[in-house]
Amino acid sequence: MISSTATYALRAVVYLASQPDRYVNRAEISDATLVPHEYLLKVLNQLDGDAGLVESRRGPGGGYRLRKPADELTALDVVSAVDKIPRIFECPLGIVDHEQLCPLHRLLDDAGRRVEEAFAQTHISDLLPGKSSRTCEFPSNNSTK
């Protein structure tokens, strides 16, 4: 439904949201989110660059943190920073000239629209561990205790 890059970005941002009062180093984010270390660098650079969702600081005590509170960021903000939610722009049946969407094209387009709407209505704060009885927990990390 969404790319691995978008999934990794969501994992990283949710983890950063769970650590709002400090900069978190890349190794800790990678360990906690199970995102490969080098791939995480690519994702964090995208989130830090033009998207401006995270900020970074070098040196001791440095790392990454969110630029905005988790209740001001949506899942769509994060996904859109690194990728696009797939939408269907050509008829999946190969019909070139139809004035209205064929039933399959309409079904797929509606599904993509509903995903975008759901992501736009979901704040990162809604995805934090402990916000729901059905939320995943991050693996424990001895360095943060």
* Closest by Cα among 2, 73, 36, 104 to 65: 73
What is the full per-residue pLDDT of the chain (145 aa) written as tens digits?
789 999 999 999 999 999 999 999 999 999 999 999 999 999 999 999 889 999 999 999 899 999 999 999 999 999 999 998 777 777 778 777 777 778 888 888 888 899 999 999 999 999 998 765 444 566 665 444 4
Question: What's residue 142's pLDDT?
Answer: 47
94-131 tens-digit pLDDT:
777 777 778 888 888 888 899 999 999 999 999 998 76
Does the model's pTM come out above 0.85?
Answer: no
Question: What's residue 143's pLDDT?
Answer: 47
Catalogue all structural domains in the chain, each as residue range(s) with its CATH number: 4-134 (1.10.10.10)
